[in-house]
Structure 1
Amino acid sequence: MAALIGNMGPFELNTEPWSSYTERFGYFVLANKIAPDLLVPTFLSVMGYKTFNLLRILVQPAKPGDLSYEETVTILGDHYSPKLVIAERFRFHKRNQEEGESVSQFVAVLKRLSEHCEFGDALDDTLRDRLVFGLRSEAIQKRLLTEADLPLDRAIDISTSMEMAAREAQQLRASSPKNKTATDKPCSRCGNTGHKASECWCEDLDCRNFDSHQSFSDERSLLDFAGEQCIFCTMNVKASVGHLLLKHLREAVYYVDGDKEKFVVACFCPEGNQAHRSHSHCPLCNYRVYSRTAVFRQHLQDSHGLAPYKKKPFDGGK
């Protein structure tokens, strides 16, 4: 006799749902090519003495071996997992994201809780709604509520990307020792050391690309700058739609201000001792210059309480 593939083990109510156990048994049967006439005897043999004795009590005066496999699964399933749909939905709708729980973990819990809620075709929409309502981050909630069309997958993508951006900004702050001197501490304007923010080259920079300072609230409006000369570059570059989308919008920093999503595109100032280096202008504090994207994103979070993030670039309305 060939060795069996896998090990079912007895059913343990405290460690595994009955539905999961029966699903694993189905794969066990397929892997070991168990004949249909041996399905019930095999199932009764692997389920363990506790489950077997319970089944005997539930089917008296019949015997477990007289039942079909489907009858056995249904009888024990009704006992272990009674269909209390209202109670299951109550638990589902009461569940919010817990402290220290990631968005991915929260979504996994919601999917598990929805298993016996019988949402049917409305499952994805219901999961999306519970995700939005139950998030701990108000900034992520506001971002999701700006979406006119928000399928579940997109809601998860936006939530996880914003969560990751906030976590990275927090780690960046934590990595800066508090006991550094004024010149050893990274400058809050450019991120470099060796000088104070008040002495930074960014302080008095007069950028000639004033139009590039603005924050955009509509990705299509960026395409209004298409033409023979790109205002965001110092080089003589044609501002084609592809150039604006692939070079500039791809690296844009997004944030939600109030209930509106906005974004800032980095530009190049052909002036000063840092000429030809990309930098961003903060539209919330008189367009002050921040020369590194990471520094600008941290500034938005620290000074304005925002959660900056990146997203897939707009395709130009094609």
Structure 2
Amino acid sequence: MAEGGLRPPGNFINSSTNPSETSRNWAKWLEQYDFYMIATEKAGKSQEIQVATLLTLLGAQGQEIFRTFSLTNAERKNIETVKKAFTDHFAPQVKMVYERFKFHSRIQRPDETFEDFLTALRTLITTCNFHDDEQDNALMDRIVAGISSQQVREDIFNLPGNPDLDQVIQLCRRSEATRQYLSDISKYTSPASKCCECGYTREKCRRSKCIKKNQRSILQE
């Protein structure tokens, strides 16, 4: 039930057998929980109340898992300890080499927008364990290698100096926006009017001598 107009996160139900997917889903849910606790001012409540709120929002599956944890009574009332126990359960150590393989294999799919492609890359990179100073370069390299437009790739190569991640992203966004503008404009560009009887354009169809319709052409507007 929403409190103060704020809707809490739904129960966390793990239905995936993929460790990396489970890890990402849990991280997202836990982030939603933290936001909810801050927004409803429950983050300042006692540790015991915070744990009870966490278990309530997790639902039956989470409560059943909680009962299996080897925690002392004091640890069961400590919110950070409980959150870590769930994180260890839902987010076991993933194989970094496999996660990086998936990241480096990702290409922009047909009809996939650049924003969706970028979001997918940002999601995949979260489980690759790149150092902070490596992450931006890895993401930029994957964008350049994975975008579907060869023209955009050439435009990136033609950027002066050594462009950073933000410059590459902005160029890709501008290029996609330009393509969309041109596509929209083409929809409103009318073809030359033709006589629906003889097939000639307005310039070539001589209405007074059109032999197809009683010496009068009927132009398609």
TM-score (norm 1): 0.50
Alignment partner for residue 121 of structure 2, among 94, 102, 110?
110
> Which residue in 2 is equivalent to 1:160?
173
Structure 2 CA distance for partners of 1:64 and 1:92, relative to 1, 3 Å: farther
- Please provide the CA RMSD for this pair: 3.0
Structure 2 CA distance for partners of 1:62 and 1:171, relative to 1, 3 Å: same
Structure 2 CA distance for partners of 1:112 and 1:60, relative to 1, 3 Å: same
CA contact (8 A) 1:56 1:64 kept: no
Distance, in Å, in 2 between the alignment partners of 1:17 and 1:29 is 18
More helix by share: 2
Structure 2 CA distance for partners of 1:61 and 1:132, relative to 1, 3 Å: closer
Structure 2 CA distance for partners of 1:169 and 1:8, relative to 1, 3 Å: closer
Per the TM alignment, residue 158 of structure 1 is displaced from its structure 2 partner at its CA by: 0.9
| Identity between Structure 1 and Structure 2 (%) | 22
Structure 2 CA distance for partners of 1:6 and 1:24, relative to 1, 3 Å: same
Per the TM alignment, residue 172 of structure 1 is displaced from its structure 2 partner at its CA by: 3.6
Per the TM alignment, residue 61 of structure 1 is displaced from its structure 2 partner at its CA by: 7.7
Question: Structure 1 residue 71 and structure 2 residue 81: aligned?
Answer: yes
CA contact (8 A) 2:194 2:202 kept: no
Per the TM alignment, residue 146 of structure 1 is displaced from its structure 2 partner at its CA by: 1.7
> Which residue in 1 is equivalent to 2:216?
none
Per the TM alignment, residue 8 of structure 1 is displaced from its structure 2 partner at its CA by: 3.0
CA contact (8 A) 1:88 1:113 kept: yes
Distance, in Å, in 1 between the alignment partners of 2:192 and 2:15 is 50
Question: Structure 1 residue 181 and structure 2 residue 194: aligned?
Answer: yes
> Which residue in 2 is equivalent to 1:11?
12
Q: After the TM superposition, which residues 1-318 of structure 1 pair with which residues of structure 2 at under 5 Å, given as runs?
A: 5-13=6-14, 17-34=25-42, 35-37=45-47, 38-57=49-68, 59-60=69-70, 66=76, 68-84=78-94, 85-119=96-130, 120-147=132-159, 148-176=161-189, 180-181=193-194
